[in-house]
Structure 1
Amino acid sequence: MFYTASPEDVVSGKTTDIYFLRTVEVLKNAGLTDVKVRAEFHLSSLPKDYRWGLFTGLKEVLELLRGRRVTVYAMPEGTAFYENEPVMVIEGPYLEFAVLETAILGILRHYSSISTKAARVKKAAGGKTCLFFGARALHPAVQPMADRAAYIGGCDGVATVKGAEMLGVKPSGTMPHALMIIFRAAMGDHTLAWLWFDRSVPPDVPRIVLADTFLDEREEALLAARMLGPRLHGVRLDTPGSRRGNMRRIVEEVRWALDLHGYRDVKIYVSGGLDEPQVAALRDVVDGFGVGTAIAFPPSIDLSMDIVEVEVGGRWVPITKRGKLPGFKQVYKCGSRRAVAKWGEPAPCGEPLLQKWIEEGALVKTPPSDSEIREYVLRQLAELE
């Protein structure tokens, strides 16, 4: 068996913390089954050195809440947000969604954490290609979710078959070291793996050779270029840390050698243990990156849910615990700055970001496609610091 929850388990509330089930029983026994609340989801804190986060996961939350007697307001998926800003509000009888708080926060926090890291890596890469190679760092049950979070966060592609299928894109990847090792052991020449790869994969698959298995990166890159000629799209350098040394110097050496021998069109891609600093340091000398663990296991974007208003006698009463700001709020984008104001008050500036997505259980606004969310994120990245 696999220790995973089914979609039915999530929707039915089986993935909740036990104290929510006990809370439901207490409220029922006290005759408080129809109390309406406004529950706000907001950013409590950002990881060190982060100035913003990306709000993602909304599409799944809407699916979770659809059909329940609630109204949902939220920022569009992919919106950049800052500390203490509400990103979503659920309005309705508390018992309609009490047991779903755990799942909702899990979806939003996990999604937003991966998407934010993907966006930061993509920004560090400048205009260069950034592919998500993090599936092997994750339980397979959540790979498609992580692929989607990374893709809408700005990554140009994902590696897994299922994740790409659900996104409606082609999976991206090159070849594993295992391929060269087997050819070396069985046929005495690991470079034959490149020829057989060229002969075997569909024509629309870029011929990108892994050029660091047994020989020097420069030597393997030149061997591949000579063997495949104009069919070679690029080489990938996945040099292990124990042999890496100064990666920039290695890339510069490979680039120099390829150019010197007339292979200027051969691209260079780098992967293996990369994060923002390494990506930023190499972006002017490489054509693309494969980034895995740094995106798959990012610092956590700390979102929390708090009741900020309760309906009493037909009117909404602002109330919350200490340390939180009571009352239903709207967030406004005012050029390069943000403003938070009480809901219903005149707009202080700019455009409101919280929009209605569900009204009394019915979807009233169609979520954008994943590619549209990604384009929205990329447009914002140009403005974010």
Structure 2
Amino acid sequence: MSTSARWDHPRTSFYTDHYELTMLQASLHSGAAHRKSVFEAFARRLPDGRRYGIVAGTGRLLEGIANFRFGDSELEFLQRTGVVNQDTLDYLAGYRFSGDIWGYAEGEAYFPHSPILIVEATFAEACILETYLLSVLNHDSAIASAASRMISAAGNRPCIEMGSRRTHEEAAPAAARAAYIAGFDSTSNLEAGFRYGIRTVGTAAHSFTLLHDTERDAFEAQVASLGAGTSLLVDTYDVETAVRAAVDLAGPKLGAVRLDSGDLVAQAQWVRQLLDDLGNVNTKIVVTSDLDEFAIAALQSAPVDSYGVGTSLVTGSGAPTASMVYKLVSRTDGAGTFVSVAKSAKNKASMGGRKYALRRLNEHGIAGEEIVGIGHRPEDDGNDRPLLQQFMKNGELLPGWTGHEGVLRARQRHADSMAELPPVVNRLQRGEPAIPTTYEEN
């Protein structure tokens, strides 16, 4: 049984805004609701100083669109509160998304104006997905983008996602999923493990030590119950005393010690020396305590084996949203012919027309440019990579993009994309996007 089959995806139709349904009602009245339309999700810019972003949330979103229904309870609420009229209620009662969805594969790097998701359907079907679609993509992509920078800073050292207590309870498994896609090794969140098959880890907090009469009593209980390979938290009182007690109780098979406070660089160095002097050369050091990509980079010279990251990760490390928007870029006119449409307001302009995208690679397979064709597919010069993948066809999910399989596929896509980008993406200093986005028109 697949991981995604073990839990029931909730109905998602009310993860939306009131005005989606009033637009629907008015367009049903005008007769334009059933015009074929093309909507596009994209980000006008990256967070200030960032060089790239990572797409995440696509698999969750597709599962949600497949469950985008208006049942009796939702329809009763809309009728009782007068949100929409009876004609609109009748339409919503039979709502099923029947269009096509294309986009960048989950885990893919994106840049300003990359056509991250393209929805082709009637205006009525596509319009009411806006809020749900953006809430998923903006949140998950922000987390994945921050996680990717942390993974880059960590090098070969694994990172553990442990931010559940710093975010909304439903956002927590989504954040763990996004972090895993971007390269995190594991999560502390059991719901993420249950839904997505991510490895879960965890041992004990300071409260466990404080519960016992002595620190040694706490360590003895943990080792007896969980085995010598457990990780012991050694900074509740005096770190040196704790490390010596941990080694005395668990011996050379002690799995790890965790440091959660103080000057982590200096502390890790002398704890490593102490462990080695005591014969525990294989005992690892795990560090936590408000880490972000910059703190992780500062720890590169320290003898640290893994990082536990919480608050900064689940808040996007200062960029809690990817600032994506969802715009109508093409629709049919009264004669059934597609015409390009675009918002032209100052500072919020969009580019009309159905988009196609590829990543231009050099002879060494390194990306140098994002090419976005408007109304046509850009020409591949022989080694370029098309970016748009089809996720749904005629309202049906195509295989491989959702569930545990989708998560693993996205994780691999992230690793492959990062290897393809120029080395500048590994710099944490503020800078321009790693590669430019170029439009090609017919």
TM-score between the two structures when normalised by the length of structure 2: 0.79
Quote the Cα distance in structure 2 between the aligned partners of 1:223 and 1:283: 28
1:339 is matched with which residue? 371
1:3 is matched with which residue? none
5+ residue gaps, structure 1, are: 1-5
SS at structure 1 position matched to 2:179: helix
Structure-to-structure mapping, 1:343-362, within 5 angstroms: 343-349=375-381, 350-362=384-396
Quote the Cα distance in structure 2 between the aligned partners of 1:194 and 1:80: 44
- Give 2:412's match in structure 1, choosing from 367, 375, 383: 375
1:75 is matched with which residue? 104
2:219 is matched with which residue? 194
Residue type at the aligned position of 2:242: E
- Give 2:232's match in structure 1, choosing from 183, 203, 209: 209
- Give 2:342's match in structure 1, choosing from 300, 320, 325: 320
- 1:223 CA displacement: 2.2
Percent identity for Structure 1 against Structure 2: 28
Query: Are the structure 2 counterparts of residues 49 and 197 from structure 1 closer, same or farther at C-alpha, using a change threshold of 3 Å?
Result: same
- 1:139 CA displacement: 2.2
- Give 1:251's match in structure 2, choosing from 268, 292, 311: 268
RMSD value, Cα? 1.8
Quote the Cα distance in structure 1 between the aligned partners of 2:199 and 2:258: 19
Structure 1 position 182 matched with structure 2 position 211: yes
Contact 2:105 2:389 in 1 (8 A): yes
Residue type at the aligned position of 1:161: L
1:364 is matched with which residue? 398
- Give 2:356's match in structure 1, choosing from 307, 330, 335: 330
1:294 is matched with which residue? 312
Query: Are the structure 2 counterparts of residues 182 and 124 from structure 1 closer, same or farther at C-alpha, using a change threshold of 3 Å?
Result: same
Residue type at the aligned position of 1:27: S
Query: Are the structure 2 counterparts of residues 345 and 197 from structure 1 closer, same or farther at C-alpha, using a change threshold of 3 Å?
Result: closer
Question: Which sits farther off after the overlay, 129-138 or 14-23?
Answer: 14-23
Contact 2:56 2:141 in 1 (8 A): yes
- 1:143 CA displacement: 2.0
Residue type at the aligned position of 2:389: Q
Structure-to-structure mapping, 1:143-154, within 5 angstroms: 143-154=172-183
TM-score between the two structures when normalised by the length of structure 1: 0.90
Residue type at the aligned position of 2:244: L
Query: Are the structure 2 counterparts of residues 274 and 345 from structure 1 closer, same or farther at C-alpha, using a change threshold of 3 Å?
Result: closer
- Give 1:221's match in structure 2, choosing from 243, 254, 259: 243
C-alpha deviations, 1:134-175, integer Å up to 9, x for none?
Answer: 001122233222221111121100002221122223311121
- 1:378 CA displacement: 2.5
5+ residue gaps, structure 2, are: 1-7, 67-95, 362-366, 426-442
Q: Would you say how many aligned residue pairs link Structure 1 and Structure 2?
A: 366
Query: Are the structure 2 counterparts of residues 127 and 8 from structure 1 closer, same or farther at C-alpha, using a change threshold of 3 Å?
Result: closer
- 1:47 CA displacement: 1.2
Contact 1:159 1:171 in 2 (8 A): yes
- 1:227 CA displacement: 1.7
Contact 1:53 1:82 in 2 (8 A): yes
2:93 is matched with which residue? none
SS at structure 2 position matched to 1:301: coil
Contact 1:339 1:348 in 2 (8 A): no
- 1:380 CA displacement: 2.9
2:45 is matched with which residue? 45
Contact 1:39 1:89 in 2 (8 A): yes
Residue type at the aligned position of 2:351: L
Contact 2:36 2:331 in 1 (8 A): yes
1:281 is matched with which residue? 298
C-alpha deviations, 1:182-225, integer Å up to 9, x for none?
Answer: 113xxxx2122112111112x5x94111010011x233223211
